[in-house]
Copies of this chain bind each other. A is one copy, B any other.
Amino acid sequence: MRISELSAETGVPVATIKYYLRERLLPEGERTSATQAVYGRTHVERLRLIRALVDSGVGIASARQVIGALDDPPEDPGHLLGIAHAAVSPPADGDLDLTAARNLIRRWGWEPEACAPQQVAGVARALDSIERGGFAVPEATMDAYLAGIRQMVEAEIDAIPTTSAEDAVRYVVLGTVLVEPLLLALRRVAEELVSSGRFGGGDT
């Protein structure tokens, strides 16, 4: 297909596609003349992945890292998913005390060193803001968080498509970022309904 058709198929404007070509996020099409090239399904798939990354707030440099890992895949797919994950997570800042975050990860039975530093930092930052807000999560609640999240994530990982590395990475990026607001909204619904069930009410 021509670049205009690629644009129609994916909803990405031609100028943006040309930008991705210049930035080498999207591989060149097959040249048919000095000014024309044709594009195929791989370009459609790649464009969808780039949009998923960009819409998730990932910068061009991080997107290029993910794309680079797809074009020159590491030996194990777990590493590839780790790169995708890292791309959608904010970088770690140096000053955080990671002790409490590491202990939480150990309570799950995992080694914190097996996890990207920025993910551990994300937990540390969240724990820090809870403490500064004058709140404390009781032990029993924390254990329920760890158990509940593990259960949800096992199901998520079960559902990662094995059709291609591109599909798997796109699934991880979209599934991580797009689903977050849903989980928070469902939690608020459950909080309201469980608490009105316990304390009476129910018409609130």
Contact = CB atoms under 8 A, between A and B. Distances in A.
A19 interface: no
B191 A156 contact: yes
Interface string A109-152: 01000111001101101110110011101101101111111111
A106 to B, nearest CB: 11
A76 B201 contact: yes
Interface string A183-200: 111111111111111111
Interface of A: 48, 51-52, 55, 74, 76-79, 81-83, 85-86, 89, 104-105, 108, 110, 114-116, 119-120, 122-123, 125-127, 129-130, 133-135, 137-138, 140-141, 143-160, 171-172, 174-176, 178-204
